[in-house]
Amino acid sequence: MARRIIPALLLLALLLGAEPGRSPAGVQAQSPNLLQNPGFEDGFYRWNGINEINVGHGWTPWWVDDPNHDPTYLTPEFKEALARDFPYRIRSGERAQQWFKLYSSFVAGVHQQVFNVTPGQNYRFTIWAQVWSSVEDNPATVSTLPANPHLQIGIDPTGYWNPYSADIIWSAEASMGQVIDRYGLLSVEATAQNNIITVFVRAIPEFANKHNNVYLDDAELVQVGPPPPPPTATPLPATATPVASPTLPPTATTPPTATTPPTATPLPTDTPAPTATTPPSQTPTATPPPTTTPPATATDAPPPTATTPAGVALAAPTLTPAPAGTSTSPSSGGLALCSSPVLGIIALAALFRPRKRQR
Protein backbone atom coordinates (compact mmCIF):
# COMPACT_ATOMS: atom_id res chain seq x y z
CA MET A 1 0.00 0.00 0.00
CA ALA A 2 2.81 2.37 0.90
CA ARG A 3 4.50 1.70 -2.45
CA ARG A 4 1.41 2.98 -4.29
CA ILE A 5 1.03 6.09 -2.15
CA ILE A 6 4.59 7.34 -2.68
CA PRO A 7 4.38 7.61 -6.52
CA ALA A 8 1.02 9.35 -6.21
CA LEU A 9 2.47 11.92 -3.81
CA LEU A 10 5.40 12.53 -6.13
CA LEU A 11 3.04 13.17 -9.07
CA LEU A 12 0.96 15.55 -6.95
CA ALA A 13 4.10 17.45 -5.91
CA LEU A 14 5.15 17.85 -9.53
CA LEU A 15 1.73 19.22 -10.48
CA LEU A 16 1.66 21.68 -7.57
CA GLY A 17 5.21 22.79 -8.27
CA ALA A 18 4.48 23.75 -11.89
CA GLU A 19 5.01 27.42 -12.79
CA PRO A 20 1.75 29.42 -12.47
CA GLY A 21 0.20 30.36 -15.81
CA ARG A 22 1.94 27.50 -17.62
CA SER A 23 0.79 23.92 -18.13
CA PRO A 24 3.18 21.22 -16.95
CA ALA A 25 4.51 18.89 -19.62
CA GLY A 26 1.85 16.50 -20.86
CA VAL A 27 -1.01 18.38 -19.10
CA GLN A 28 -3.56 20.52 -20.98
CA ALA A 29 -3.83 24.23 -20.20
CA GLN A 30 -6.55 25.04 -17.69
CA SER A 31 -8.10 27.56 -20.13
CA PRO A 32 -9.95 25.85 -23.01
CA ASN A 33 -8.82 26.24 -26.59
CA LEU A 34 -10.91 29.12 -27.96
CA LEU A 35 -10.36 28.32 -31.66
CA GLN A 36 -12.76 26.55 -33.95
CA ASN A 37 -11.40 23.50 -35.81
CA PRO A 38 -7.86 24.04 -34.39
CA GLY A 39 -6.50 20.71 -35.77
CA PHE A 40 -8.35 20.98 -39.13
CA GLU A 41 -10.03 17.64 -38.43
CA ASP A 42 -13.59 19.07 -38.70
CA GLY A 43 -13.55 19.26 -42.47
CA PHE A 44 -13.01 21.93 -45.15
CA TYR A 45 -15.24 24.17 -47.24
CA ARG A 46 -14.94 25.88 -50.62
CA TRP A 47 -14.55 29.58 -49.95
CA ASN A 48 -16.92 31.73 -52.04
CA GLY A 49 -17.51 28.72 -54.33
CA ILE A 50 -13.93 28.88 -55.72
CA ASN A 51 -12.70 25.34 -56.45
CA GLU A 52 -9.05 26.19 -55.81
CA ILE A 53 -9.69 27.74 -52.39
CA ASN A 54 -10.59 25.17 -49.71
CA VAL A 55 -9.99 26.01 -46.03
CA GLY A 56 -10.84 24.38 -42.71
CA HIS A 57 -14.17 25.32 -41.17
CA GLY A 58 -13.87 28.38 -38.94
CA TRP A 59 -10.90 29.74 -40.90
CA THR A 60 -10.82 32.41 -43.64
CA PRO A 61 -8.19 32.68 -46.41
CA TRP A 62 -6.54 35.97 -47.41
CA TRP A 63 -3.94 36.86 -50.05
CA VAL A 64 -2.53 39.72 -52.20
CA ASP A 65 -2.51 39.75 -56.02
CA ASP A 66 0.42 41.70 -57.51
CA PRO A 67 1.66 40.16 -60.80
CA ASN A 68 3.97 43.14 -61.38
CA HIS A 69 5.90 42.57 -58.19
CA ASP A 70 9.32 40.91 -58.33
CA PRO A 71 8.88 38.11 -57.43
CA THR A 72 5.28 37.89 -58.62
CA TYR A 73 2.58 37.72 -55.96
CA LEU A 74 -0.27 35.52 -57.29
CA THR A 75 -3.33 33.93 -55.70
CA PRO A 76 -2.24 30.63 -54.15
CA GLU A 77 -4.25 27.40 -54.08
CA PHE A 78 -5.69 26.44 -50.67
CA LYS A 79 -6.49 22.79 -49.93
CA GLU A 80 -6.44 20.10 -47.26
CA ALA A 81 -3.41 17.90 -46.85
CA LEU A 82 -4.30 14.25 -46.12
CA ALA A 83 -2.22 11.83 -44.12
CA ARG A 84 -2.84 9.07 -46.62
CA ASP A 85 -1.15 11.13 -49.35
CA PHE A 86 1.48 13.10 -47.41
CA PRO A 87 1.99 11.52 -43.98
CA TYR A 88 5.22 13.49 -43.45
CA ARG A 89 3.26 16.78 -43.83
CA ILE A 90 0.74 15.96 -41.06
CA ARG A 91 1.64 16.53 -37.41
CA SER A 92 -1.37 14.81 -35.79
CA GLY A 93 -4.68 13.36 -36.93
CA GLU A 94 -5.55 12.90 -40.60
CA ARG A 95 -5.56 16.44 -41.97
CA ALA A 96 -3.65 19.71 -42.13
CA GLN A 97 -4.20 23.04 -43.88
CA GLN A 98 -1.93 23.88 -46.82
CA TRP A 99 -1.53 26.54 -49.55
CA PHE A 100 0.97 26.82 -52.40
CA LYS A 101 1.66 28.28 -55.87
CA LEU A 102 3.83 26.82 -58.63
CA TYR A 103 6.67 29.01 -59.91
CA SER A 104 5.55 32.00 -57.91
CA SER A 105 5.75 33.69 -54.56
CA PHE A 106 2.75 35.02 -52.62
CA VAL A 107 1.61 37.11 -49.66
CA ALA A 108 -1.06 34.87 -48.17
CA GLY A 109 -2.40 33.13 -45.07
CA VAL A 110 -5.48 32.42 -42.96
CA HIS A 111 -7.17 34.15 -40.04
CA GLN A 112 -9.94 33.46 -37.53
CA GLN A 113 -12.03 35.83 -35.40
CA VAL A 114 -12.66 34.73 -31.82
CA PHE A 115 -15.64 36.14 -29.92
CA ASN A 116 -16.54 36.51 -26.25
CA VAL A 117 -13.02 37.17 -24.98
CA THR A 118 -12.42 39.37 -21.93
CA PRO A 119 -10.94 42.83 -22.51
CA GLY A 120 -7.84 43.40 -20.42
CA GLN A 121 -6.94 39.71 -20.34
CA ASN A 122 -3.81 38.26 -21.92
CA TYR A 123 -4.16 35.62 -24.68
CA ARG A 124 -1.58 33.34 -26.28
CA PHE A 125 -1.88 32.05 -29.85
CA THR A 126 0.28 29.09 -30.96
CA ILE A 127 0.38 26.95 -34.10
CA TRP A 128 2.65 24.32 -35.63
CA ALA A 129 3.88 25.06 -39.15
CA GLN A 130 6.05 23.40 -41.82
CA VAL A 131 7.34 24.58 -45.22
CA TRP A 132 8.36 22.63 -48.32
CA SER A 133 10.27 24.87 -50.76
CA SER A 134 12.12 23.11 -53.55
CA VAL A 135 13.11 22.93 -57.20
CA GLU A 136 12.40 19.17 -57.11
CA ASP A 137 8.97 17.51 -57.48
CA ASN A 138 9.04 14.71 -54.91
CA PRO A 139 7.62 16.14 -51.65
CA ALA A 140 9.03 13.21 -49.74
CA THR A 141 12.56 14.50 -50.25
CA VAL A 142 14.30 17.30 -48.41
CA SER A 143 13.70 20.76 -49.86
CA THR A 144 16.23 21.65 -52.53
CA LEU A 145 17.33 25.32 -52.66
CA PRO A 146 14.51 26.48 -50.36
CA ALA A 147 13.31 30.07 -50.20
CA ASN A 148 12.98 31.77 -46.84
CA PRO A 149 9.20 31.71 -46.16
CA HIS A 150 9.21 34.71 -43.77
CA LEU A 151 6.57 32.87 -41.73
CA GLN A 152 4.85 34.72 -38.83
CA ILE A 153 1.70 34.59 -36.70
CA GLY A 154 -0.13 37.50 -35.06
CA ILE A 155 -3.01 38.72 -32.89
CA ASP A 156 -5.13 41.81 -33.50
CA PRO A 157 -6.31 42.71 -29.97
CA THR A 158 -9.10 44.92 -31.39
CA GLY A 159 -10.69 42.04 -33.34
CA TYR A 160 -10.22 43.63 -36.81
CA TRP A 161 -9.74 41.14 -39.67
CA ASN A 162 -7.47 43.27 -41.96
CA PRO A 163 -4.07 41.53 -42.20
CA TYR A 164 -2.42 44.94 -42.79
CA SER A 165 -3.79 46.58 -39.63
CA ALA A 166 -1.21 48.45 -37.61
CA ASP A 167 -2.80 47.03 -34.43
CA ILE A 168 -1.64 43.46 -35.13
CA ILE A 169 1.05 42.18 -32.79
CA TRP A 170 3.27 39.88 -34.87
CA SER A 171 5.60 37.17 -33.64
CA ALA A 172 9.22 36.99 -34.70
CA GLU A 173 9.81 35.24 -38.03
CA ALA A 174 10.39 31.51 -37.82
CA SER A 175 13.89 30.54 -38.85
CA MET A 176 14.33 28.32 -41.90
CA GLY A 177 15.86 25.60 -39.76
CA GLN A 178 12.79 25.72 -37.54
CA VAL A 179 10.17 25.05 -40.25
CA ILE A 180 11.79 23.77 -43.48
CA ASP A 181 10.74 20.11 -43.87
CA ARG A 182 9.75 19.89 -40.19
CA TYR A 183 7.05 21.22 -37.88
CA GLY A 184 8.05 24.11 -35.66
CA LEU A 185 5.98 25.90 -33.01
CA LEU A 186 5.24 29.64 -33.36
CA SER A 187 3.80 31.65 -30.44
CA VAL A 188 2.61 35.20 -29.75
CA GLU A 189 0.71 36.94 -26.93
CA ALA A 190 -1.48 40.06 -26.73
CA THR A 191 -3.88 41.75 -24.31
CA ALA A 192 -7.46 41.94 -25.60
CA GLN A 193 -8.77 45.46 -26.13
CA ASN A 194 -12.24 44.31 -27.18
CA ASN A 195 -14.51 41.30 -26.70
CA ILE A 196 -13.26 40.04 -30.09
CA ILE A 197 -9.69 39.22 -31.13
CA THR A 198 -8.40 37.91 -34.48
CA VAL A 199 -5.51 35.51 -35.01
CA PHE A 200 -3.41 35.51 -38.22
CA VAL A 201 -0.89 33.35 -40.07
CA ARG A 202 1.09 34.74 -43.02
CA ALA A 203 3.92 33.61 -45.30
CA ILE A 204 5.89 35.54 -47.93
CA PRO A 205 8.43 33.29 -49.74
CA GLU A 206 11.54 35.22 -50.63
CA PHE A 207 11.62 34.10 -54.26
CA ALA A 208 9.48 32.18 -56.78
CA ASN A 209 10.57 28.58 -56.36
CA LYS A 210 8.95 25.71 -58.26
CA HIS A 211 7.28 24.59 -55.02
CA ASN A 212 6.49 26.92 -52.12
CA ASN A 213 4.08 24.97 -49.86
CA VAL A 214 2.97 25.95 -46.33
CA TYR A 215 1.38 23.42 -43.88
CA LEU A 216 -0.47 24.24 -40.61
CA ASP A 217 -1.65 21.91 -37.80
CA ASP A 218 -2.66 21.91 -34.11
CA ALA A 219 -3.46 25.60 -33.45
CA GLU A 220 -4.41 26.91 -30.01
CA LEU A 221 -5.66 30.14 -28.42
CA VAL A 222 -5.86 30.25 -24.61
CA GLN A 223 -6.29 32.87 -21.94
CA VAL A 224 -3.18 33.17 -19.81
CA GLY A 225 -4.41 35.72 -17.27
CA PRO A 226 -4.19 39.49 -16.88
CA PRO A 227 -1.11 41.26 -18.16
CA PRO A 228 1.73 41.40 -15.64
CA PRO A 229 1.62 44.49 -13.43
CA PRO A 230 4.22 47.15 -14.07
CA PRO A 231 7.33 46.77 -11.96
CA THR A 232 7.22 48.63 -8.65
CA ALA A 233 10.12 50.47 -7.15
CA THR A 234 11.85 48.35 -4.53
CA PRO A 235 12.20 50.33 -1.27
CA LEU A 236 15.72 50.74 -0.06
CA PRO A 237 16.57 48.89 3.17
CA ALA A 238 16.52 50.97 6.33
CA THR A 239 19.95 52.26 7.20
CA ALA A 240 21.25 52.54 10.75
CA THR A 241 21.30 56.05 12.16
CA PRO A 242 24.92 57.10 12.55
CA VAL A 243 26.04 57.88 16.12
CA ALA A 244 27.43 61.36 16.58
CA SER A 245 31.19 61.27 17.08
CA PRO A 246 32.87 63.70 19.51
CA THR A 247 34.04 66.76 17.74
CA LEU A 248 37.78 67.41 18.09
CA PRO A 249 38.91 70.99 18.64
CA PRO A 250 40.17 72.57 15.51
CA THR A 251 43.90 72.48 14.98
CA ALA A 252 45.61 75.81 14.59
CA THR A 253 46.50 76.23 11.04
CA THR A 254 49.69 78.00 10.13
CA PRO A 255 48.80 80.79 7.73
CA PRO A 256 50.32 80.22 4.37
CA THR A 257 53.46 82.15 3.49
CA ALA A 258 52.95 84.68 0.83
CA THR A 259 54.74 83.57 -2.23
CA THR A 260 56.31 86.19 -4.38
CA PRO A 261 54.88 85.78 -7.78
CA PRO A 262 57.54 85.08 -10.37
CA THR A 263 58.78 88.03 -12.33
CA ALA A 264 57.74 87.91 -15.88
CA THR A 265 60.84 87.60 -18.03
CA PRO A 266 60.51 89.91 -20.97
CA LEU A 267 60.71 88.17 -24.20
CA PRO A 268 63.71 89.10 -26.37
CA THR A 269 62.92 91.85 -28.81
CA ASP A 270 63.95 91.40 -32.34
CA THR A 271 66.75 93.90 -33.10
CA PRO A 272 65.80 95.77 -36.20
CA ALA A 273 68.33 95.55 -38.98
CA PRO A 274 70.27 98.80 -39.57
CA THR A 275 68.77 100.91 -42.22
CA ALA A 276 71.08 102.11 -44.91
CA THR A 277 71.62 105.87 -44.49
CA THR A 278 71.36 107.83 -47.64
CA PRO A 279 74.32 110.27 -47.87
CA PRO A 280 73.27 113.90 -47.88
CA SER A 281 73.00 115.43 -51.22
CA GLN A 282 75.89 117.76 -52.08
CA THR A 283 73.73 120.76 -52.73
CA PRO A 284 75.92 123.87 -53.20
CA THR A 285 74.89 126.74 -50.99
CA ALA A 286 75.12 130.16 -52.43
CA THR A 287 77.51 132.35 -50.35
CA PRO A 288 76.16 135.87 -49.89
CA PRO A 289 78.52 138.59 -50.95
CA PRO A 290 80.35 140.39 -48.15
CA THR A 291 78.53 143.30 -46.68
CA THR A 292 80.32 146.63 -46.95
CA THR A 293 80.69 148.18 -43.48
CA PRO A 294 80.22 151.90 -43.56
CA PRO A 295 83.08 153.86 -41.99
CA ALA A 296 82.59 155.03 -38.46
CA THR A 297 81.42 158.57 -38.16
CA ALA A 298 83.76 160.71 -36.06
CA THR A 299 81.88 162.30 -33.21
CA ASP A 300 83.30 165.40 -31.67
CA ALA A 301 83.25 164.71 -27.95
CA PRO A 302 82.76 167.78 -25.82
CA PRO A 303 85.85 168.69 -23.96
CA PRO A 304 85.85 167.41 -20.43
CA THR A 305 85.04 169.81 -17.74
CA ALA A 306 88.02 170.50 -15.61
CA THR A 307 87.36 169.61 -12.02
CA THR A 308 89.42 171.38 -9.44
CA PRO A 309 90.26 169.14 -6.59
CA ALA A 310 89.52 170.47 -3.15
CA GLY A 311 92.30 172.58 -1.72
CA VAL A 312 94.02 172.88 -5.04
CA ALA A 313 94.26 176.25 -6.66
CA LEU A 314 94.49 176.15 -10.32
CA ALA A 315 96.73 178.66 -11.98
CA ALA A 316 95.33 180.43 -14.86
CA PRO A 317 96.91 179.30 -18.03
CA THR A 318 99.63 181.57 -19.27
CA LEU A 319 98.95 182.85 -22.61
CA THR A 320 101.95 182.20 -24.76
CA PRO A 321 102.11 184.61 -27.57
CA ALA A 322 102.39 183.13 -30.89
CA PRO A 323 105.46 183.72 -32.84
CA ALA A 324 105.40 186.47 -35.22
CA GLY A 325 104.20 185.60 -38.59
CA THR A 326 102.00 182.75 -37.27
CA SER A 327 98.39 182.95 -38.05
CA THR A 328 96.13 182.06 -35.16
CA SER A 329 92.84 180.52 -35.70
CA PRO A 330 90.02 182.41 -34.07
CA SER A 331 88.39 179.24 -32.86
CA SER A 332 91.37 178.19 -30.75
CA GLY A 333 90.72 180.91 -28.19
CA GLY A 334 94.28 181.86 -28.28
CA LEU A 335 95.44 178.26 -27.84
CA ALA A 336 97.08 176.20 -30.48
CA LEU A 337 95.14 172.85 -30.53
CA CYS A 338 96.04 169.69 -32.36
CA SER A 339 93.79 168.58 -35.02
CA SER A 340 93.52 165.07 -33.59
CA PRO A 341 90.85 164.63 -30.85
CA VAL A 342 93.00 162.24 -28.84
CA LEU A 343 95.97 164.46 -28.81
CA GLY A 344 93.74 167.28 -27.80
CA ILE A 345 92.43 165.37 -24.80
CA ILE A 346 95.99 164.53 -23.71
CA ALA A 347 96.98 168.12 -24.01
CA LEU A 348 94.07 169.31 -21.89
CA ALA A 349 94.86 166.73 -19.23
CA ALA A 350 98.39 168.05 -19.06
CA LEU A 351 97.13 171.54 -18.56
CA PHE A 352 94.96 170.65 -15.64
CA ARG A 353 97.57 168.43 -13.88
CA PRO A 354 97.88 169.61 -10.29
CA ARG A 355 101.05 171.02 -9.09
CA LYS A 356 102.75 170.77 -5.69
CA ARG A 357 102.50 173.72 -3.35
CA GLN A 358 105.66 175.56 -2.73
CA ARG A 359 106.58 175.97 0.79
**Res 232: pLDDT:** 74
- Domains of the chain: which residue ranges? 30-225
pLDDT (0 to 100) of residue 241: 54
Superfamily of chain region 30-225: Galactose-binding domain-like (2.60.120.260)
Q: What is the pLDDT of residue 242?
A: 53
Cis, peptide link before residue 61, omega less than 30° from 0? no
CB 105 within 8 A of CB 76: no
Other beta carbons less than 10 A from residue 189's beta carbon: 14
Beta strands in the chain (DSSP E): 44-46, 54-56, 60-64, 77-82, 95-100, 107-115, 122-134, 152-156, 169-170, 184-191, 196-203, 211-225
Sign of CA dihedral 156, 161, 166, 169: positive
| 50 closest CA partner among 3, 99, 15 | 99
Residue 148 Cα distances to 132, 178, 202, 258, 310, angstroms? 10, 11, 13, 82, 164
**Counting every residue, how long is the chain?**
359
pTM of the model: 0.58
Q: What is the pLDDT of residue 83?
A: 96
Give pLDDT, residue 263.
Answer: 53
From first to last of its 359 residues, what are the pLDDT tens digits of the chain? Answer: 445 444 444 444 444 444 333 443 334 445 899 999 999 999 999 999 999 999 999 999 999 999 999 999 999 999 999 999 989 999 999 999 999 999 999 999 999 999 999 999 999 999 999 999 999 987 667 899 999 999 999 999 999 999 999 999 999 999 999 999 999 999 999 999 999 999 999 999 999 999 999 999 999 999 998 876 777 766 666 555 555 555 555 555 555 555 555 555 555 555 455 444 444 444 444 444 444 444 444 444 444 444 444 443 444 444 444 444 444 443 444 434 444 556 666 666 666 555 554 44
Helix, strand, or coil here: 2?
helix
